[in-house]
Amino acid sequence: MRKIKKILGTSFKVVMFIIATILWSIFVYTISGEWLYFMPLIAGDILFWETISWQFWKKKKEKKTKKKKSEVRNWIDAIGFAVIAATILRTFLIEAYTIPTSSMEKSMLIGDFLFVSKTAYGPRVPMTPIAFPLVHHTMPIGNGKSYTEAIKLPYHRMKGLGEIERNDCVVFNWPAETLGRPVDKKENYVKRCVGVPGDKIELIDAQLMVNDAPQQEPEGMKKQWHYNVSTKGTGLNPNILYEKYDITEGGYGRNKNEYNLTLTNESRDAIQSFTNVTSVERQYEQAGVYSDYIFPHDKNYKWNVDNFGPITVPAAGVTVSITSENLSIYKDIIERYENNKLEVVFGEIYINDKVATTYTFAMDYFWMMGDNRHNSADSRFWGFVPENHIVGKALFVWMSWDKNAKGLKKVRWNRLFRSVK
């Protein structure tokens, strides 16, 4: 054995390390001690990278002079350790995200940089484990795929610190994406979870009802709607609207004395106090008016962005009756998310080639909505979010960049390290 070690040198250590890592992973899986998966990283640092002094409490002894590593080898070791450590950190602990759209304004703003906790709900084991490190689904150069589907793992989530609760701001993979990408490589969205498994959801004239009661809004939540604003004489100064009242969406209506503005309750009250403003009216879609772009995209359900439901959020293990009338609500769950064969033959519903009148959900689902209620693509448009699409919980804003400001004002200093609510 010594001769083999002497011949193979570092190669022997590498081979034994790989074998030991595989055996350790099997052991950890069998005892469900998932957080012990990180031990090979420590072992690898002790054996190869020596980035951290793991015996810092001991007095240093004089060591025999070792052959000094080349500068190239030092750089390779340092970069290798950094990439592996960052990948593990990003996959299992915490990841940075950017807010690209206004769907959560004014709770979260375009240009907010967030840290998202993977441990809050439990980190999801990568479904496509062979991928270029530190990127999502597309290579930064060439726009090619950053992953291969040669190896695909089933959905599994490690134990987390808690469960998704109502009003959590959640990052998830967009379930309605139809580009054929694996679940964990679909586009990332961030919305507020307004409905957990078993909740009854309904919108009545834009008022969100959860289990027949108005939504309980957390401190710091700032919703927006579209308003028609009419003026007389002088118009509204867009610079004042932006700089003083943080009104960033909207423009002229049918003439120079009419405006379509997206307002919070606070900015609406401020606009109403203007002496040249004659009316401020919220835009509504009337009850009973069918919108074909609203889930479940079925004329039997005359729902729209302001009047929707009632609908119950599915929970794992719950059985529901399925009919030709309500199949449009559950079709994606049965076929796309839970991978069953679904057919309708002469009015009868077949699931996996068997006549079905009921269906039992295999996963929990959630209802997500943006705080910018009239400018948010959310569950009203594409339905439920499956549990296997959940990425993590938005924690706090570590940087906020206002592209419309100038100089030092481009940084929104008052938002730095602000917790997400």
Helical (H) or strand (E) element with 343: strand 342-345
Q: In the prediction, which pLDDT does 59 show?
A: 54
Amino acid identity at 270: A
Give the pairing type, strands 207-210 and 200-204. Answer: antiparallel
Q: Are 132 and 111 in contact (CB under 8 A)?
A: no
Helical (H) or strand (E) element with 77: helix 71-92
Q: Are 92 and 34 in contact (CB under 8 A)?
A: no
Q: In the prediction, which pLDDT does 7 show?
A: 45
Q: CA-to-CA distance for 288 and 406, rounded, in angstroms? A: 46
DSSP string of 352-390, one letter each residue? TTEE-SEEE-SS-EEEEE-SBTTS--SHHHH--EEGGGE
Q: Are 111 and 400 in contact (CB under 8 A)?
A: yes
How does pLDDT run along the chain (421 residues), one tens digit per residue? 455 444 445 555 555 656 665 555 555 544 455 555 556 655 665 555 554 454 444 455 555 555 676 778 778 877 877 888 888 888 888 999 999 999 999 999 999 999 999 999 999 999 999 999 889 999 988 889 999 999 999 999 999 999 999 999 999 999 999 999 999 999 999 999 999 999 999 999 999 999 999 999 998 899 999 999 999 878 898 889 988 999 999 887 777 889 999 999 999 999 999 999 999 999 999 999 999 999 999 999 999 999 999 999 999 999 999 999 999 999 999 999 999 999 999 999 999 999 999 999 999 999 999 999 999 999 999 999 999 999 999 999 999 999 888 888 899 999 999 999 8
Q: CA-to-CA distance for 16 and 382, rounded, in angstroms? A: 49
Domains of the chain with CATH codes: 1-55 (no CATH), 69-195+386-421 (2.10.109.10), 225-282 (3.30.70)
Q: CA-to-CA distance for 97 and 398, rounded, in angstroms? A: 10
| Eight-class DSSP state of 333 | I
Q: CA-to-CA distance for 118 and 35, rounded, in angstroms? A: 13
The number of beta carbons lying within 10 Å of the beta carbon of residue 259 is 23
Q: In the prediction, which pLDDT does 79 show?
A: 82
Q: In the prediction, which pLDDT does 83 show?
A: 82
Helical (H) or strand (E) element with 14: helix 10-31
DSSP string of 260-327, one letter each residue? EEEE-HHHHHHHHT-TTEEEEEE--PPTT---TTSTT--TTS---SSSEEEEE---TT-EEE--TTTH
- Give the contacts of 158 (CB within 8 A, at least 6 positions apart): 34, 35, 92, 122, 123, 124, 125
Amino acid identity at 61: K
Q: How many helices (H) and strands (E) does the chain have?
A: 8, 21
Give me the residues paired with residue 396 across strands. Answer: 115, 419
Q: Are 340 and 331 in contact (CB under 8 A)?
A: no
Q: In the prediction, which pLDDT does 87 show?
A: 85
Q: CA-to-CA distance for 102 and 108, rounded, in angstroms? A: 8
Q: In the prediction, which pLDDT does 18 show?
A: 62
Q: In the prediction, which pLDDT does 33 show?
A: 52
